[in-house]
Amino acid sequence: MPASTPREGVYRTRRPGLAILYLLGVVIGEWPAIRLFADGAFDGHVSGARTVTGMFLVVGLPLFGRGLFALQAGAGKVPDQQAGHGWLRPPLAYLTVGLVLLLAAGLAAA
């Protein structure tokens, strides 16, 4: 029997350096978001706008980073499906959900 070789998957990438950069960007962005949420929720004067903004940022940033990584890894190129269906599949759908949450955070801050 010939030795089995790993096949190229849809979501595999050969750029682990970019994954580390996305991870660092998310971690650096999460620190102010967690501080904003903690200050809004647990400070002496509770602020609803800061709490909601921080909550949306804390949830939205990792989803956005994961979706961005999936997009650069080629998750949007699905040959057997229609054009828009790749954006509804889980790795790339994280980008859409993350963008919506970041937009909601911006609207909550205003």
Instruction: Residue 29: name the closest of 107, 101, 108, 110 by CA.
Output: 101
Average of pLDDT values for 70-89? 73
Q: Report the pLDDT value the prediction gives residue 36, as an integer from 0 to 100.
A: 94
Query: Is 66's pLDDT higher than 90?
Result: yes
Q: Collapse the DSSP code of 6 into the 3-class scheme (helix H, G, I; strand E, B; otherwise coil) and give the result.
A: coil
How many Å is the Cα radius of gyration of the chain? 18
Given this model, what pLDDT does residue 107 score?
96
Strand runs (DSSP E) across the chain, as ranges?
A: none
Q: Which residue has the tokens 């859409």?
A: 96
Q: According to the model, what pLDDT value does residue 19 have? A: 87
User: Does residue 84 surpass a pLDDT of 80?
Assistant: no
Do the beta carbons of residue 50 and residue 39 sit within 8 Å?
A: yes
Copy the structure tokens of residue 55: 């909550």
| pLDDT at residue 4 in the model | 52
Domain ranges of the chain: 16-109
Average pLDDT over residues 9-35: 85
pTM: 0.79
Exposure string (b/e) for 49-62, b if CB count within 10 Å is 16 or more?
A: ebbbbbbbbbbbbb
| pLDDT greater than 80 at residue 29 | yes
How far is the C-alpha of 54 from the C-alpha of 103, rounded, in Å? 12
Q: How confident is the model at residue 8 (pLDDT cuts 50, 70, 90)?
A: low
Q: Classify residue 77 by burial, with Cβ atoms within 10 Å: 0-12, 13-18, 19+.
A: exposed
Reply yes or no on whether the pLDDT at 81 is more than 70. no
pLDDT winner (highest mean) among 22-26, 83-87, 88-92: 22-26
